[in-house]
Amino acid sequence: MGRVLNILDYALCSLRRKLLKNVSVFAIFTLVIFLFCSFQLVSRALTEAAEQLLTTAPDITIQQMSAGRQISIASSTKMELAGIFGIKKIKERIWGYYFDESNGANYTVIGMHAPFSDSPGDRLPGLSEGRLPAPGERGKVVVSDNIRNHLQLGSRKHFSLFRPDLTQAGFETIGLFDGKLEIVTADLILMTLADARDLFAIPDKFVTDLLVYVANPNEIETIARKISLKLPGSRVITRNQILKTYKVVFNWRSGLGTICLLTALAAFVILAWDKASGLSREEMKEVGILKILGWQTGDIIFLRFCESLTVSLLAFLTGYLLAWMHIVYFDGILFRPVFLGWSVVRPVFSLAPSFSIENLLLVFCLSVVPYLCATAVPAWRAATVRADSVI
Amino acid sequence: MFIDLQAVTKIYNQGQPNEVIALKTVSLAVAKGEMVCVQGPSGSGKTTLLSIIGCIFSPTSGRAAIGGKKISRLPDHFLTRYRRELIGFVFQNYNMIDHLTVLENITLPLLALGVSPSIRERKADHLLEKFGISHRKKFKVNQLSGGELQRAAIARALINDPPIIVADEPTAHLDGKLSLEVMDMLAALKEEGRTVVVASHDPIVSRHHGMAGIIEVRDGVILLNKPVG
């Protein structure tokens, strides 16, 4: 034990003596780990945020398709589904996008029948102030702070949007979405079904989606299949499918980023190997002296291992900690555009990173372990310097 | 005999085109507490002989016993262990690690023995005091003079209290006065009961009053093994 502690102590002193070289390696390694962990944490936080938000989504969404594109669906289609046992409720929704030319921004417009919060499965994102439009109320909307800023409303409450025939539809903001849910409400304008129909010039008795709520969550897939059979030519999407799509999108982006960062990591490991494999005359002399003074080959390998482990472990912990701070305090500012896209109305929500031992182990295995392996060969080469080389 | 070599041969790169026979059936005996001088020109096999006596490698053939331990055909692991226990080295170019302090250099052999820092320092203090360089304890070795470096090297050779001291040209970089001083130190070690083997061309070494014998090596063969007197 005393021998191990002595060698460990010697390794730490040795790191301190070659400060510049080791600090450089540490800084590059920390940067790679930081980028890698940030990517992992942002990806995971976003997937979890999407999962959480989708708990408020309808169980099944029905859309009418024509020539492979979505078209309006008649409200009366609800009647055809009345016979399917297990359906708790069907609601109408208009979901569209409005391009604001003056700001170059795209807004999401949702029109629904109020009230919105009549059941647990039909919860809408909370409001930080104001109220939702009441049934039959016209020209009243709820927006996010982001939209207010884009529309440059300031203290005003009234604004107007253009209908397809370029006539103006006037609106008054009566509520503001809670900032915690910016990930979905950043570009959202919520209004009544009648206002949305008017804005997009959708004929009466037509909507873009029918939202189906199912009494028993285990029955969702079965009911979705039955709806598909009843409504040929329609698209039936379950909540799970939406979640899968989110996961695929985030995982794909995460995977792409990971590949780029792994390439950087591989380059670093090669660099580390290259640097460590070239034994300087000074290093050869040191090893020769240590060996002639009674250090075993194993002692030298252990010494080098301690040096590499200290640098890589410190870099790993620092990189992970910095990545964590990057997410918590700076909302993953470096990688948000990669994951969220470059839309004009970008959500400004806060990310909450979650600790995952699998992710931590993955990063450890892809960073510290290759580094240790890369430095093992040079360590062995150093250790096999002959003791008589210094005579 | 404390150092006993019987018909020792050392061949480097045996069986290969660059094969070199460094020692040819050499026999040598040095008693405990004796100081002998090994002489010979460059390439004569002097260093190989010292390396075998210093347990750095074992001979290709023949029998070698150092400090009562048979080292013929021993694996490297055991040789290192015997070297740690039996041998203290003093080198021509001091072989100190430049970026370490005198204290750190002197205690290097004790690290691999698992000796605690406090005991290491106590032992080093004793030796530094003995050789009159305690005021240089915390200095980097490149701040020391040649004489101080050689004293530090002798202190390091003694830190694990070995029964055998192997010194390779210990006076090569020193002037006459310092050379005599170093030889006196080595002779004092002999008086303590240690066996001292010194390789040197320096007449100050071979003619030193403490020297018990001279071993002349040439072309891998011992030409002369005569007692001084």
Q: What is the DSSP string of B150-218?
A: HHHHHHHHHTT--SEEEEESTTTTS-HHHHHHHHHHHHHHHHTT-EEEEE---HHHHT-TT--EEEEEE
3-state secondary structure of B105: helix
Closest in A2, A4, A388 to B115, CB measured: A2
B81 interaction partners in chain A (CB closer than 8 Å):
294
Domains in chain B, start-ordered, CATH in brackets?
3-227 (3.40.50.300)
Residues A97, A39 within the same domain: no
Q: Which residue of A has its CA nearest to B119?
A: A2
Confidence category of residue A339, pLDDT binned at 50, 70, 90:
low
Give per-residue pLDDT as tens, A307-325: 889 988 999 999 999 988 8
**Cβ pair A188, A107 in contact under 8 A:** yes
Residues A301, A198 within the same domain: no
Report yes or no on A92 lying in a domain: yes
The size of the A-B interface in CB pairs under 8 A is: 76
Domain range enclosing A341: 2-52+246-390
Q: Looking at residue A278, what is its pLDDT?
A: 63
A120 pLDDT more than 50: no
Residue A87, phi then psi, degrees to nearest 5: -75, 125
Report yes or no on A226 lying in a domain: no
Distance in angstroms (rounded) separating the CA atoms of residues A269 and A172? 59
Residues A198, A257 within the same domain: no
What is the arithmetic mean of pLDDT over A164-188? 85
Confidence category of residue A83, pLDDT binned at 50, 70, 90:
confident
Packing angle of the helix pair A239-277, A19-54 (nearest 10 deg) = 170
CA distance to partner chain A, nearest, from residue B212 (Å):
24
Closest in A289, A297, A387 to B56, CB measured: A387
B78 interaction partners in chain A (CB closer than 8 Å):
none
Distance in angstroms (rounded) separating the CA atoms of residues B183 and B204? 8
Q: Cβ contact (<8 Å) for A1 and B114?
A: yes
Residue with more model confidence, B9 or A255: B9
Q: Does A301 touch chain B (CB under 8 A)?
A: no
Q: Which residue of A has its CA nearest to B167?
A: A391
Please write down the long-range contacts of B58-62, taking CB distance under 8 Å and 24 or more positions apart. Answer: B59/B5, B59/B8, B59/B9, B59/B10, B59/B23, B60/B9, B60/B10, B60/B11, B60/B14, B61/B7, B61/B8, B61/B9, B62/B5, B62/B6, B62/B7, B62/B8, B62/B9, B62/B25, B62/B26
CA distance to partner chain A, nearest, from residue B226 (Å):
26
Q: Does A1 touch chain B (CB under 8 A)?
A: yes
Report yes or no on A17 lying in a domain: yes
Closest in A17, A291, A390 to B91, CB measured: A390
A300 interaction partners in chain B (CB closer than 8 Å):
none
* Cα A138 → chain centroid: 37
Given A198, A214, A230, the domain boundary residue is A214
Give per-residue pLDDT as tens, A280-294: 788 888 888 898 888
- The three-state DSSP-derived secondary structure of chain A is CHHHHHHHHHHHHHHHHCHHHHHHHHHHHHHHHHHHHHHHHHHHHHHHHHHHHHCCCCCEEEEEEECCEEECEECCHHHHHCCCCCEEEEEEEEEEEEEECCCCEEEEEEEECCCCCCCHHHCCCCEEEECCCCCCCCCEEEECHHHHHHCCCCCCCEEEEECCCCCEEEEEEEEEECHHHHHHHCCEEEEEHHHHHHHHCCCCCEECEEEEEECCHHHHHHHHHHHHHHCCCEEEEEHHHHHHHHHHHHHHHHHHHHHHHHHHHHHHHHHHHHHHHCCCHHHHHHHHHHHHCCCCHHHHHHHHHHHHHHHHHHHHHHHHHHHHHHHHHHCCCCCHHHHHCCCCCCCCCCCCCCCCHHHHHHHHHHHHHHHHHHHHHHHHHHHCCCHHHHC
Closest in B54, B84, B114 to A6, CB measured: B114
Closest in B51, B54, B112 to A295, CB measured: B112
Residues A25, A95 within the same domain: no
% of chain A with per-residue pLDDT over 90: 26
Residues A380, A252 within the same domain: yes
B43 interaction partners in chain A (CB closer than 8 Å):
none
Distance in angstroms (rounded) separating the CA atoms of residues A195 and A204? 11
Q: What is the pTM of this model?
A: 0.69
Residues in chain A: 391
A345 pLDDT more than 60: no
| β-bridge pairing A234-238 and A158-162 | unpaired
Averaged pLDDT score across all residues of chain B: 88
Given A165, A199, A214, the domain boundary residue is A214
A387 interaction partners in chain B (CB closer than 8 Å):
56, 80, 83
Distance in angstroms (rounded) separating the CA atoms of residues B5 and B25? 9
Q: Looking at residue B35, what is its pLDDT?
A: 92
What's the complex ipTM?
0.88
Q: Cβ contact (<8 Å) for B112 and A6?
A: yes
3-state secondary structure of B75: coil
Confidence category of residue A223, pLDDT binned at 50, 70, 90:
very high
Confidence category of residue A129, pLDDT binned at 50, 70, 90:
confident
Distance in angstroms (rounded) separating the CA atoms of residues A39 and A45? 10
Residue A25: exposure state from Cβ atoms within 10 A (0-12, 13-18, ≥19): buried
Tokens linked to B23 = 């020692």
B113 interaction partners in chain A (CB closer than 8 Å):
3, 294
Strand partners, A98: A107
Type and span of the H or E element at B65: strand B61-66
Is the preceding omega at residue A115 within 30 degrees of 0, hence cis? yes
Report yes or no on A225 lying in a domain: no
Q: Cβ contact (<8 Å) for B108 and A293?
A: yes
Q: For residue A7, how many other CB atoms are within 10 A of its CB? A: 21
Residues A48, A156 within the same domain: no
Least confident among A102-111, A203-212, A352-361, B41-50:
A352-361
Closest in A4, A282, A294 to B109, CB measured: A294
Type and span of the H or E element at B69: strand B69-70
Given A193, A214, A235, the domain boundary residue is A214
B107 pLDDT more than 90: yes
Number of domains in chain A: 2
Q: Does A3 touch chain B (CB under 8 A)?
A: yes
Q: Cβ contact (<8 Å) for A387 and B113?
A: no
Report yes or no on A202 lying in a domain: yes
What CA dihedral angle connects B17, B20, B21 and B23, to 10 degrees?
-160
Report yes or no on A98 lying in a domain: yes
Least confident among A92-106, A131-145, A220-234, A325-339:
A325-339
Tokens linked to B102 = 């005198």
Closest in A4, A13, A294 to B80, CB measured: A294
Least confident among A131-145, A171-185, B156-170:
A171-185
Report yes or no on A96 lying in a domain: yes
Residue with more model confidence, B35 or A327: B35
Residues A276, A204 within the same domain: no
Distance in angstroms (rounded) separating the CA atoms of residues A172 and A375? 66
A284 interaction partners in chain B (CB closer than 8 Å):
none
Q: Which residue of B has its CA nearest to A286?
A: B97
DSSP 8-state secondary structure symbol assigned to residue B134: G
Report yes or no on A235 lying in a domain: no
Q: Does A391 touch chain B (CB under 8 A)?
A: yes
